[in-house]
Structure 1
Amino acid sequence: MKYFIFITIFVLIIPITNIFAQNFSDEPNITLDINPTDPAPGENVTATLESYESNLDLAYIVWKHGKETKSGYGETEFSTKISMDETTSDTIVANIVLGDGQKIERQISISGIKLDISWEAINTYAPPFYMGKRIPIRENAIRVAVIGPNNSGAGIAYAWKRNGSAFNNSGNGARPYIDFTNTEIQNKESIDISLVKNGSGATRNIQIPLTKPKVLFYEYDQLAGLNILKNVKNTVVGYENVVSLYAVPIGFNLKTKPSISWNLSGQSVNNQENPYLLSFNKPNESGLVNLSVNVENIRTLYQEAKSNLELNF
């Protein structure tokens, strides 16, 4: 008798379970996504409807974003521009009428976050008159920072990735910048920044190019000093008696003093007082003088540069 009761109860439970499953699956799976997924304020976005269960080409779709609307059969995409105001949340609504008459609504809210990124080499040599960004070379220290007055403080957190791996350092989640040193095996740097601000998020990726170090030649006057307007290249020069040239290395690490060696017409020459400066007497006869300088950071593999100059007297 107990066995018969157990079977009866089991049979009665099965239909009830199926009824609940059918009720939950009545509404088809229709997704609404935007691209880009984390737009900046004032950026153009495209909203897209997708479904693997319903034929949206036969559906009548009405899009709304503020006063902007779009409608028609099979209109699965809608392009619009979000607000310039970071404090304003934009809502895109899609009202869908399927081919069988079923009505469905999908909506998505967007809060644009301005996320501007700056990067440059730090602790890197550049001449005093250099006004541009310090472009990193191999094995340089680099700083990447989020700029702007509204991207730090309470309610804001950051997650950083360097070359695909999470970047962890003290204060990483709170600080709007990271510092790191390029290693010998990395010939480029890829940085991902994710910001969460008052519940909204934004993600950016930047690619940091690495260049080669170089050495420039400038005229040097014993009284006036370095002439930044005279970048000397292969040229005809009209010096009176003494020729003075200054080697300006670009991109080398400031924390390690580079080794500098000059070569004048095949002869090694050095200036013990100022290794960046070379002075020599003008030749008595006209002709060519070959000059070269080699700058090397002996503690690194890639921080080395050589520059040649051919002077016609």
Structure 2
Amino acid sequence: MSARVVLVLLALTLALPAIAQVNFGLGSDLSLEIAPEHPAPGNIVQISAHSSLLDLTGTTLTWYENGKQIGSGAGLATVEITAGPLGSDTTVRVVAESDGELSQAEARIRPVEIDLLWESDSYIPPFFRGRALPSAGTNLRLEAIPYFKKSDGSSVPVGDITFTWKRNGYVEQSVSGRGKSEISLSAPALFGTDTISVEGRAKDGLEGSASVRIPSREPVVELYEAHPLFGTLYHRALGRTTNIPETESSFAAIPYYADATSPGDASLTYEWRVNGNTIASDPERPSELTINAAGSAGVARIELALSHVTNFFLSASGVWNVLFLRDGARNPFGTQ
């Protein structure tokens, strides 16, 4: 999570002659820098004074937080404060005294938070605990959840916030605008990584931002047993070498993160081979394979190559060695 603060910078020079008169000048070029640039509530915030005209190392600097002095000393160009909670408004002011002249600068800190959630529309099986990750050809779904509070404690409605979405620093104009907290974007290119960021701004000046780096990854094919009663046993993927205590068994291929809506998506092409021999796919269930090992012994080497009819970037493959045994049935919900 990240937050953005609103900065109001003021640079003044106060000439103090012997008579009771105050003259204002703008020659100090005194400014403040905040780190982190977008502090969240409760963050330790470092505030540094800078000037291209004043030698701050020999200048007496006095710091104030909401009018209360928090530090003073020669060359004291940096202080730290703790950002307040959501809805707080903190003003930090520094006064520099050099050769009888006073210069000052102010920074206003109003922490907000934005949570940035994302997932892909790539395929993942039921009960999968992770998020759907993007592969080339899929889309990203993103949602910004802003926590913007006014000084009176009320929240700013999402519809009153203008969101600006960027990919790798470039504005995505078509999905940016007032109330546009949920968007869809194309996934990163093959082997690529995109940085997606969002900035939210309310009418009263509250402003926040968040960003995330999203890499593209290749689809992965896993093989599971397809039980005649319980269906695909998603809790137990086959290892590269597996013992099956039956002479006949069916298997289901699951294309994780593929550009598809289901394993049986018509856009997917499955090419099966068993012990080097090409096996024709079942037109109704191309993602499944049944092997009858009755009367034979040894290991069945199952190979699968997955491709896409139109998405030429989609390519995945797998190899599994299955030893069919004859020592009776086993518990389909076991771990071995």
TM class by smaller structure? 0.7 to 0.9
Q: Distance in 1 between matches of 2:172 and 2:191?
A: 15
Indicate the larger mover: 276-285 or 258-267. Answer: 276-285
CA offset at residue 152 of structure 1? 4.5
Alignment of 1:87-166 (within 5 A): 87-98=87-98, 100-122=99-121, 124-148=122-146, 152-166=157-171
Aligned residue number for residue 212 of structure 2: 206
- Which letter maps to 1:306? S
1:225 to 225, 231, 238: 231
Q: Distance in 2 between matches of 1:30 and 1:135?
A: 47
CA offset at residue 254 of structure 1? 2.7
SS of residue paired to 2:158: coil
Contact kept? 1:40, 1:115, Cα under 8 Å: no
**Scaled by the length of structure 1, what TM-score is found?**
0.84
Q: Distance in 1 between matches of 2:218 and 2:110?
A: 41
Q: Distance in 2 between matches of 1:83 and 1:229?
A: 46
Deviations 1:54-98 (A, max 9, x none): 11111111223256712221011112211122x111111212222
Q: Distance in 2 between matches of 1:285 and 1:252?
A: 35
Distance 1:172 1:263, change over 3 A: farther
SS of residue paired to 1:279: strand
Contact kept? 2:114, 2:147, Cα under 8 Å: no
SS of residue paired to 1:169: helix
Contact kept? 1:294, 1:304, Cα under 8 Å: yes
Distance 1:224 1:186, change over 3 A: closer
Following TM superposition, where does structure 1 have runs of at least 4 consecutive aligned residues deviating by more than 4 angstroms? 23-27, 148-152, 183-186
CA offset at residue 307 of structure 1? 0.9
Distance 1:274 1:165, change over 3 A: same
Q: Distance in 1 between matches of 2:292 and 2:191?
A: 45
Distance 1:297 1:291, change over 3 A: same
Is residue 2:293 matched to residue 1:287? no
Which structure 2 residue ranges, 5 or more long, are not aligned? 1-22, 149-155, 325-336
The count of residues paired between Structure 1 and Structure 2 equals 288
Aligned residue number for residue 271 of structure 2: 261
- Which letter maps to 1:78? V
Distance 1:226 1:154, change over 3 A: closer
Aligned residue number for residue 8 of structure 1: none
Is residue 2:254 matched to residue 1:243? no
SS of residue paired to 1:273: coil
CA offset at residue 202 of structure 1? 2.2
Aligned residue number for residue 308 of structure 1: 319
Q: CA RMSD in A?
A: 2.3
SS of residue paired to 1:32: strand
More helix by proportion, 1 or 2? 1
Deviations 1:174-202 (A, max 9, x none): 21122111365782222121111231222
Distance 1:185 1:243, change over 3 A: closer
**Scaled by the length of structure 2, what TM-score is found?**
0.78
Q: Distance in 1 between matches of 2:145 and 2:256?
A: 26
Q: Distance in 1 between matches of 2:323 and 2:106?
A: 74
% same residue: 22
CA offset at residue 240 of structure 1? 2.0
Is residue 2:79 matched to residue 1:78? yes
Contact kept? 1:172, 1:178, Cα under 8 Å: no
More RCO (CA 8 Å, sep 6+):
2
CA offset at residue 25 of structure 1? 5.0
Which structure 1 residue ranges, 5 or more long, are not aligned? 1-22
1:189 to 177, 194, 198: 194
Distance 1:179 1:186, change over 3 A: farther
Deviations 1:173-231 (A, max 9, x none): 32112211136578222212111123122233321111110111111211221112221
Q: Distance in 2 between matches of 1:64 and 1:225?
A: 68
SS of residue paired to 1:64: strand
Alignment of 1:35-46 (within 5 A): 35-46=35-46
Distance 1:291 1:283, change over 3 A: farther
Contact kept? 2:188, 2:214, Cα under 8 Å: no
Q: Distance in 2 between matches of 1:226 and 1:242?
A: 15
Q: Distance in 2 between matches of 1:148 and 1:74?
A: 39
Q: Distance in 2 between matches of 1:236 and 1:88?
A: 60
